[in-house]
Amino acid sequence: MAGAPASLRSVSTAATAPINYSVEVPGKRVGRYINSEDTGELADVHEEKLVAFGNARELQTPANLEKQCFELRNHATAVKNFKDSDEVKRVYFPEMEALVKAATGAEQVFLFDHTIRDGSSGAGLNVTKPGDAAAPVFRVHTDYSDTSGPARVKTLAESGDYFSAEQQTEILSRDFCIVNVWRNISAEPVQSNPLAVLDPASIDKKEFLVYEMQYPDR
């Protein structure tokens, strides 16, 4: 990768592992179909690259949202069963609203999605039954871009389930961000497929690819 050297340094010895990066296929756009017909316009092809990893808990200078776009936080939850979607919405959503407000200083937080990922589930990347676990995403990616972030705000407003069209206009006229909050929901430490994040300073924006996900309704 051609970006500037990462500013994060770990006190532990880094390990290396192969990581999948999306690559372009001539004549096709990069992306995949989700519960929709494959019309042959998208290609989801990857290329393995050996990447060095460190333990984010051992960073000499802790990462923060403002600079590295991620940070680690201790958080105790009252949720007993993360596979109970009703309990997650009733208990965990308010917890996460408070956590994100504390981390970002946001005036308002709208929670619109939650996903369980488990490498042993045998499922695909997307599941439809509440409480089911989807597979990990085995490629480097961002969930939202400068284009898809505002577009997601519009679709959430159009659904009528999260905020109104008037609120949409207000959100898009101000600073906003879409935040992922991840946690291990097992009693034991994660032994395989751990979550990996990177310092955005290590990536040149020219290296980004547009990755399309085509759903039946969007």
Residue 9, number of CB atoms within 10 A of its CB: 12
Which segment, 54-63, 70-79, 123-132, 187-196, is predicted with the most confidence on average? 70-79
Q: What angle do CA 103, 212, 41 make, to 5 degrees?
A: 175
pLDDT of 64 reads 93
Instruction: Confirm if 81 and 116 have CB atoms less than 8 A apart.
Output: no
Percent of the chain with pLDDT over 70: 89
Average pLDDT on 124-130 reads 61
| Chain segment 188-200, per-residue pLDDT in tens | 888 888 899 988 8
- pLDDT of 3 above 60: no
Helix (H, G, I), strand (E, B) or coil at 157: helix
- Cα–Cα distance for residue pair 218/206, rounded to 1 Å: 26
- pLDDT of 216 above 90: no
**pTM of the full structure:** 0.84
Q: String of b and e for 158-178 (b: at least 16 CB within 10 Å)? A: eeeeebeeeebeebeeeebee
Helix, strand, coil shares of the chain, percent, nearest 5, are 25, 15, 60
| Chain segment 137-185, per-residue pLDDT in tens | 889 999 999 999 999 999 999 998 998 999 999 999 999 999 999 999 9
